[in-house]
Amino acid sequence: MSDFNHESSSVNNVAVAQLAANKQYTQIIYILQLVSLIFGITSIIGVVMNYVKLSEVRGTFLESHFRWQIRTFWFVLLWTIIGGILTMVGIGILILLAVAVWYIYRAIKGLNALSANRPMYV
């Protein structure tokens, strides 16, 4: 009986350690998103990291963060392209500014929820 409890405890410790490592990984992706406002390439690195680990976080609260981050990336990319095209007629600058503010908002909102171990709504 004690072998079973010890084995169960070991499995639980591994699961807790894996969740903690994945939480830190998720936090790094949020930071990469924020840094991408200066160095755009980091957002691409972040979304690739999301897709690489998505199956590993499936079924945990971190899955909602990954979906939040992935959706944020694709919407920002779409609106950045639209804003870039529309800079020729002037309105694009406003769109790009709004996209930057929205991007910061989503990264900070995600970081706050992550630090409180709360899932993101998606």
Q: Where are the domains of the chain?
A: 2-115
Rounded distance between C-alpha atoms, residue 62 and residue 3, angstroms: 31
Rounded distance between C-alpha atoms, residue 59 and residue 38, angstroms: 33
Q: Are 69 and 110 in contact (CB under 8 A)?
A: yes
pLDDT of residue 13: 83
Enter the pTM of the model.
0.87
CA distances (Å), origin 16, targets 19, 49, 56? 5, 21, 13
pLDDT of residue 98: 98
Mean pLDDT of 91-119: 98
- pLDDT at 100 exceeding the cut of 90: yes
pLDDT digits (tens, 9 = 90+) for 23-46: 999 999 999 999 999 998 999 999
